[in-house]
Structure 1
Amino acid sequence: MRLPQPRSLMGQMLLAVAAALLLVQGIGALLVYRAQREGYEAGMVNAVAFRLLVETRGRDALGRMLRNDRTPFSGPPPRGFPLEFSTGTPAAVDEARDTRAEARLRRVLEEQDFQASDVVVVHRTVHADAFARAHVRQRAAHRRMDRQELADALNDHLLVVGVRRDGDGNWMVARVRSPRAANKLLQPLLVQTVLIYVVLVGAVALILRRITRPLAALTRRVEQFAVAPGSAGQLVPGGPEDMQRLIEAHNAMEARIVAMLDEKDVMLGAIGHDLKTPLAALRVRIESVEDDTERARMATTIEDIVRTLDDILSLARVGRPSDPRERTELSALVASVVEEYEDMGDPVELGDTQRIVVELRPTWMRRALRNLIGNALRYGERARVTLERDGARAVIVIDDDGPGIPADRIEDMMNPFTRGDPSRNSTTGGAGLGLALARAIADQNGGALVLSNRLSAQGRVEGLRARLELPVG
């Protein structure tokens, strides 16, 4: 199973640093632990050799051994027991022997000219060795140890060494307990690792926070600018120098974009004014045309031009609305738009609705609904409008009974100046801006427009469905 990973930059960087630190500290702790254990084991072997040589030669013969003792991390001296002489090997039949310690001890004894025909080294606990257990209990009674001290002593690690010299059938058995400190090596290593983690990860977190805080502010600003360009002041540069330069570059780019958008609005306003003035004059002058049919045709053409011009200007300005958002009862707004068509006798039906309050721009939303309902009436003969809530979204559904749209062209139909196939618009005209404007208005309010064909049980297209989805809250 794949473990979940953080998605933020700060989370991923902290995870990478923590993983690298864990690997390095783990390797370091292992090396230190092995070196420490090696030192304790060497000390225990040297202690055994010391006792064997003292028993056979006396203390005066140990000068060379003591001068050559370069055991690292020797630690406190190992604690031992009296030497035992036995006719049999100290290792049980099923007991594992420490061949590495045997080789080390044999090498130390050879350096001291102590010839041993057999060397046996095994590891036990004090409790598992009868001789050591009896000795510890006797010492505990003499020193009046409590139960916990006695239990700790019996659980100590014990190195049992048996040596048989050349030509001698008896075994000399030495026993050495490991120092208590050898059993507590992991605790300081763990404490050290935790302290390093706290210091290093904390420092990295502070640095990353200084980087990611202005980065998060820049992200929010870009998201806000994408919805409403020029709606708020520019971001104040902060963070490291590289981040400040990035924010300054974004501010400069944003200023240029806003300037171009302002210039576009001024140009569109001038175009609209310059075109509507002669169109109004033409509308007056066609009244002098005596042929009623020709006059009606000319008036219809002028109205189409005016309507297309309004759609173009609206589509160009939809990204920079001037009116503020308002909390609107969406079912009432939908019902009022449907009533407009009902008053004109158009076949528009209002189905089930729910009371949903949404923050939006009512004027633009009315425009989107009129475009969608008008599109349904133009190509599908009738329109059925419903409003429902789907999770965190309000969904307005407009169904018609038309021929639908080919599946491979549904997405293209929401692009500007794109018309449907001849079966949908050969007699209706239009500039192909209604759906594009409705989608732009939905995007402006943080929603989406989704078109799909309604299919019967037999898979036959029964009409087109437009879903206008808006976020709630």
Structure 2
Amino acid sequence: MRSVFPRSLMGQMLLAVAAALLLVQALSAFLIYSAQRESYESGMLNAAAFRMIVETRGFESLRRTRKPDGAPFGGPPPRGFPVERSPVSPAAENERRDRGAEEQFAKILNDQNFAASQIVIVHRRLRHDPVARGWIEKHAHWHNRTGHDLEEIFENHLLVVGVLPQDGRDWLVTRVRSPRAVNILLFPLILQTVIIYIVLVGAVALILRRMSRPLAALTRRVEQFSATRDLAGQVEPSGPDDVHRLIVAHNALETRIVDMLDEKDVMLGAIGHDLKTPLAALRVRIESVEDDIERARMATTIEDIVRTLDDILSLARVGRPSDPLERNELSALVASVVEEYEDMGEPVDLGETSRMALELRPTWLRRALRNLIGNALRYGERARVSLSKENGAAVIVIDDDGPGIPEDSIEAMMNPFTRGDPSRNSATGGAGLGLALARAIADQHGGALVLTNRYDAGGAIEGLRARLTIPLG
């Protein structure tokens, strides 16, 4: 299952910034909302206390100057309801009381020397309070409120405050209405968060895009250079100073690598030319040796030197192939290599194969297969070859019946000049370059060569498996 987590630098940075911003903004919004809500409710409680004091202490001038639906000193939206005297508490039995608001209201009354034996505060929608609803409907014509406007008002929040004075038997009940605090406070915070997200994430995205574009170009260039080692198409330095310097350094590194490879090729070419000439002369001179056995030994030694020299030159050239990629039927190529050994009477078996065509360098791939099959015959007496398709790649498997390789030596066996038989016996001769060359050819095709031991049911090694993988795409 593909992960939804972004894998690109830009995606991960944007996700990190967005997550951090969400956390910080959520904490900030909570603190702001809590402070504003406390201030808002405090204003409503003060308005309720003001109305109750005006009612009980006879400030007639304030009563006459107030509009029926006006607020005394601003604060929350219009709240005017007359103070009601009731023989019972305004809170229903199943209605939840606001204990915190009751304590705060008691402090307000105490500051005004208003003695109260009981205080009850509840919250409800205006439509659920018969007194407030009836008063709104009665005075709706003062503000030309009808129909839909009244329905919106009935959804308002209503704070109902009931006080039982110490010197009275009736409850004093006042009501303060306003839109629900969450509607007043939460929506601006959400809008603020959205605006911050758009501005900040947009700015970060622009900066990251300026950084990631040259890095993406550099990545593509590294991939191209690893495949072709051609200096054509180097990335033009751009982006921030750090990225600019990275691209300049990489271009210099590419140039240095190509120069070193060119020097290596020239040196190996000269060695190959200079060595083959005296070796050819030696072949001619040994014909004058009268002892047939000695002459044969000398010829064999010369052939070993020539074969080792060819392997060294091939290993040096495999990283910079001169032959282009060609579309080939891989199963046919594998079958043709197996037929070569069958024609020589070697015990090589071709197992199941799958037809698949892909871009490859057939000459080099044949060389790798010959090296692997040759090793299987040399050390395992028999080779079994199969070809299958696994996870979008062609997989060539070569099994033998040999003694295998110690687990701690498998990786070292694919290094140049490392042999399974250190005695350099003529039956298992070679310079130890076959596996190194096969792995280099697999790398050249974007694949890999892996060696593993095969075990029987009892846990004993019953052979070695060489697994050569080449991507199909």
TM superposition score normalised by structure 2: 0.89
Aligned length: 463
Within 2, Cα distance between the matches of 1:20 and 1:350? Answer: 59
Mapping of residues 306-317 of structure 1, within 5 Å: 306-317=306-317
1:18-77 deviation line (CA, Å, top 9, x unaligned): 1221122223322332333233322322222232233233446869xx9xxxx9x95444
The answer to whether the 8 A contact 2:347-2:383 is kept is yes
Within 1, Cα distance between the matches of 2:179 and 2:377? Answer: 94
CA-based RMSD: 2.9
Unpaired runs of 5+ residues, structure 1, are none
Q: What is the DSSP-based 3-state SS (H/G/I as helix, E as strand, rest coil) of the residue aligned with 1:410? A: helix
Q: Does 1:260 align with 2:225?
A: no
Within 1, Cα distance between the matches of 2:182 and 2:272? Answer: 90
The answer to whether the 8 A contact 2:388-2:394 is kept is yes
The answer to whether the 8 A contact 1:324-1:361 is kept is yes
The answer to whether the 8 A contact 1:415-1:435 is kept is yes
The verdict on how the C-alpha distance between 1:181 and 1:399 changes in structure 2, with shifts beyond 3 A counting, is closer
Q: Does 1:102 align with 2:102?
A: yes
The verdict on how the C-alpha distance between 1:179 and 1:356 changes in structure 2, with shifts beyond 3 A counting, is closer
Within 2, Cα distance between the matches of 1:390 and 1:120? Answer: 76
The answer to whether the 8 A contact 1:39-1:74 is kept is no
Q: Alpha-carbon deviation of 1:177?
A: 1.2
1:343-399 deviation line (CA, Å, top 9, x unaligned): 333333333322211211111111111111221222222323222222311112222
The answer to whether the 8 A contact 1:79-1:179 is kept is no
Within 1, Cα distance between the matches of 2:60 and 2:134? Answer: 31
Mapping of residues 126-141 of structure 1, within 5 Å: 126-136=126-136, 138=138
The answer to whether the 8 A contact 2:421-2:428 is kept is no
Unpaired runs of 5+ residues, structure 2, are none
> Residue 91 of structure 1 aligns with which residue?
91
Q: Does 1:438 align with 2:438?
A: yes
1:255-278 deviation line (CA, Å, top 9, x unaligned): 111111111111111111111111
> Residue 412 of structure 1 aligns with which residue?
412
> Residue 33 of structure 1 aligns with which residue?
33
Deviant stretches of 4+, over 6 Å:
60-63, 140-144
Amino acid at match of 2:209: R
The answer to whether the 8 A contact 1:119-1:161 is kept is yes
Q: What is the DSSP-based 3-state SS (H/G/I as helix, E as strand, rest coil) of the residue aligned with 2:213? A: helix
Within 2, Cα distance between the matches of 1:4 and 1:434? Answer: 43
Mapping of residues 220-239 of structure 1, within 5 Å: 220-230=220-230, 232-239=232-239
> Residue 145 of structure 1 aligns with which residue?
146
> Residue 351 of structure 1 aligns with which residue?
351
Mapping of residues 389-408 of structure 1, within 5 Å: 389-408=389-408
Within 2, Cα distance between the matches of 1:154 and 1:356? Answer: 75
> Residue 124 of structure 1 aligns with which residue?
124
Q: Does 1:322 align with 2:319?
A: no
Amino acid at match of 1:298: M
> Residue 162 of structure 2 aligns with which residue?
162
Q: What is the DSSP-based 3-state SS (H/G/I as helix, E as strand, rest coil) of the residue aligned with 1:388? A: strand
Within 1, Cα distance between the matches of 2:396 and 2:277? Answer: 37
Within 2, Cα distance between the matches of 1:440 and 1:341? Answer: 23
The answer to whether the 8 A contact 2:378-2:427 is kept is no
Amino acid at match of 1:387: L
Q: What is the DSSP-based 3-state SS (H/G/I as helix, E as strand, rest coil) of the residue aligned with 1:349? A: strand
Within 2, Cα distance between the matches of 1:111 and 1:452? Answer: 89
Within 1, Cα distance between the matches of 2:276 and 2:396? Answer: 34
> Residue 341 of structure 1 aligns with which residue?
341
> Residue 375 of structure 1 aligns with which residue?
375
Within 2, Cα distance between the matches of 1:116 and 1:349? Answer: 105
The answer to whether the 8 A contact 2:330-2:357 is kept is yes
Amino acid at match of 1:258: V
The answer to whether the 8 A contact 1:43-1:77 is kept is no
The answer to whether the 8 A contact 2:98-2:122 is kept is yes
The verdict on how the C-alpha distance between 1:144 and 1:219 changes in structure 2, with shifts beyond 3 A counting, is closer
Deviates more, 1:38-47 or 1:298-307: 38-47
Q: Alpha-carbon deviation of 1:460?
A: 3.9
Amino acid at match of 2:433: L
Amino acid at match of 1:450: V
The verdict on how the C-alpha distance between 1:425 and 1:194 changes in structure 2, with shifts beyond 3 A counting, is farther
The verdict on how the C-alpha distance between 1:354 and 1:112 changes in structure 2, with shifts beyond 3 A counting, is closer
> Residue 247 of structure 2 aligns with which residue?
247
The answer to whether the 8 A contact 2:403-2:461 is kept is yes
Q: What is the DSSP-based 3-state SS (H/G/I as helix, E as strand, rest coil) of the residue aligned with 2:349? A: strand
Mapping of residues 178-217 of structure 1, within 5 Å: 178-179=178-179, 183-217=183-217
The answer to whether the 8 A contact 1:381-1:402 is kept is yes
The verdict on how the C-alpha distance between 1:49 and 1:349 changes in structure 2, with shifts beyond 3 A counting, is closer
Within 2, Cα distance between the matches of 1:350 and 1:179? Answer: 84
Deviates more, 1:272-281 or 1:310-319: 310-319
